[in-house]
């Protein structure tokens, strides 16, 4: 006698934050986006998204940043779950629970991470068995950073950030993240970047070989020197205190410091876990950031951690 495969009652997916090691921004396109050349690294600061079959579509958010996350129809993870339900012709609603550890509006793709996690979790919950390419295509319609949250590791991205190619790299890197008390909306930072560059010719973006060389040889010192972000000046114009944060981290011995993505989180690269801990203590004592965290990278992208089966 054969038995039907067990259908999981709920599925939990763990998903990482990202930093951009390099972010080159081209001119504004007709669709409002900007062509990018960027290098993403997934780092060990995670959200967890659990999905279960429910009576109605709903999302609950827990964790330190929960009050900052919308729980209405605009929630990106809920939108992701509804999108994959439509794709799989699933009529049963799902109930989502997000444990949020990634700062909100921090330039670390926290909302995108939750959307990627919701796609993967729902795929497992409903046994749809979509392959990574299908999930990635759906991810790109939800946001530019969502495909990378599925993939993780280190990737070079083009287009608006959704076209990915994996990067071969050695070593593990130790980051310190200085989190601001106030988020920065991504569209505002891109608009400010356009404003600051008005009247100057903006070339098509291209990645520099410095980052690739540093990653291939696992050279944290060289990587620290090569960190670059075209959105950094815009983020600093909108939150001038970020300059002081970067200066403090470099003064306390970071190998490099950069605004992460559209900010305002500042990511510092350090030489070792001990150096990261020292830098955390120094930055916390200096009181330049609302919160200071440590994370290692690269780490894997979204992955299922629990999928208990029905008995
Ligand atoms: O793709 P996503 O929804 O995450 O993008 C949020 C906003 O960031 C966009 O509406 C746009 O203003 C800006 N953006 C951009 N160019 C990109 C990615 C994002 O201008 N490549």
Q: In the predicted model, what is the mean pLDDT of residues 123-140? A: 96
Render pLDDT for 210-263 as a digit per residue (tens, 0 to 9).
999 999 999 999 999 999 999 999 999 999 999 999 999 999 999 999 999 999
Residue 203: pLDDT band (50, 70, 90) is confident
**Contact by Cβ (8 Å): 304, 220:** no
**Contact by Cβ (8 Å): 265, 43:** no
Q: What pLDDT score does 50 carry?
A: 98
Contacts of 76 (CB under 8 A, 6+ apart): 111, 112, 114, 115, 142, 143
Query: CA of 263: how far to CAs of 200, 210, 272, in Å?
Result: 23, 23, 24
Please name the residue whose Cα sits nearest to atom 3 of ligand 1.
143
**Spatial distance between the Cα atoms of 26 and 262, rounded to a whole number of angstroms:** 14
Question: Which atom of ligand 1 is found nearest the CA of 109?
Answer: 4
Q: In the predicted model, what is the mean pLDDT of residues 17-35? A: 96
Render pLDDT for 173-189 as a digit per residue (tens, 0 to 9).
999 999 999 999 999 99
Ligand 1 pocket residue status of 161, Cβ below 6 Å: yes
In terms of DSSP H, where are the helices of the chain?
76-87, 110-125, 132-142, 146-151, 186-197, 209-217, 220-226, 232-238, 241-251, 273-286
Catalytic residue among 18, 47, 230, 293: 18
Residue 307: pLDDT band (50, 70, 90) is low
Whole-structure pTM over 0.85, yes or no? yes
User: In angstroms, what is the span from residue 281 Cα to ligand 1's centroid?
Assistant: 34
Residue 96 pLDDT more than 60? yes
**Spatial distance between the Cα atoms of 183 and 171, rounded to a whole number of angstroms:** 31
Q: What pLDDT score does 309 carry?
A: 55
Ligand 1 pocket residue status of 143, Cβ below 6 Å: yes
**Spatial distance between the Cα atoms of 29 and 311, rounded to a whole number of angstroms:** 53
Query: CA of 47: how far to CAs of 71, 77, 112, 183, 188, in Å?
Result: 16, 12, 11, 17, 25
Q: In the predicted model, what is the mean pLDDT of residues 280-284? A: 97
Q: What pLDDT score does 311 carry?
A: 45
Render pLDDT for 106-123 as a digit per residue (tens, 0 to 9).
999 999 999 999 999 999
Q: In the predicted model, what is the mean pLDDT of residues 115-140? A: 97
Ligand 1 binding pocket mutation candidate from 38, 186, 193, 202 (most atoms within 8 A of CB):
186
Residue 63: pLDDT band (50, 70, 90) is very high
**Spatial distance between the Cα atoms of 34 and 32, rounded to a whole number of angstroms:** 7
For this structure, is 18 an active site residue?
A: yes
**If we measure between CA atoms, which residue out of 239, 118, 242 comes closest to residue 178?**
242
**Contact by Cβ (8 Å): 114, 96:** no
The 3-state DSSP class for residue 175 equals strand
Residue 265: pLDDT band (50, 70, 90) is very high
């Amino acid at each position: 006698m054969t038995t039907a495969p067990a259908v999981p009652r709920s599925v939990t997916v763990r998903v990482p934050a990202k930093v951009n090691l390099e972010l080159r921004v081209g001119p504004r396109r007709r669709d409002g986006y900007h062509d990018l050349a960027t290098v993403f690294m997934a780092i060990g600061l995670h959200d967890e998204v659990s999905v279960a079959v429910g009576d109605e579509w709903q999302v609950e958010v827990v964790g330190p940043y929960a009050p900052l996350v919308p729980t209405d129809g605009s929630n990106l993870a809920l939108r992701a779950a509804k999108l994959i339900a439509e794709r799989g012709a699933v009529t049963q609603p799902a109930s989502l629970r997000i444990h949020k550890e990634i700062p909100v509006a921090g330039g670390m793709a926290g909302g995108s991470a939750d959307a990627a996690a919701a796609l993967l979790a729902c795929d497992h919950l409903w046994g749809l068995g979509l392959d990574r390419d299908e999930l990635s295509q759906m991810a790109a319609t939800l946001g530019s950073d969502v495909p990378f949250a599925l993939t993780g590791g280190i990737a070079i991205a083009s287009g608006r950030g959704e076209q990915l190619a994996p990067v071969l790299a050695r070593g593990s890197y130790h980051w310190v993240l200085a989190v601001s008390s106030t988020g920065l909306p991504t569209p505002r930072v891109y608009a400010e970047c356009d404003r600051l560059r008005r009247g100057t010719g903006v070339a098509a973006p291209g990645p520099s070989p410095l980052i690739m060389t540093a990653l291939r040889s696992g050279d944290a010192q060289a990587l620290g020197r090569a960190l670059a972000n075209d959105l950094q000046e815009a983020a600093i114009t909108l939150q001038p205190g970020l300059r002081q944060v970067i200066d403090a981290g470099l003064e306390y011995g970071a190998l490099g410091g950069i605004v992460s993505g559209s900010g305002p989180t500042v990511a510092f690269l350090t030489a070792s876990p001990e150096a990261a801990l020292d830098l955390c203590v120094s930055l916390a004592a200096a009181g330049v950031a609302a919160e200071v965290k440590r994370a290692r990278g690269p780490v894997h992208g979204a992955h299922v951690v629990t999928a208990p089966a029905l008995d």
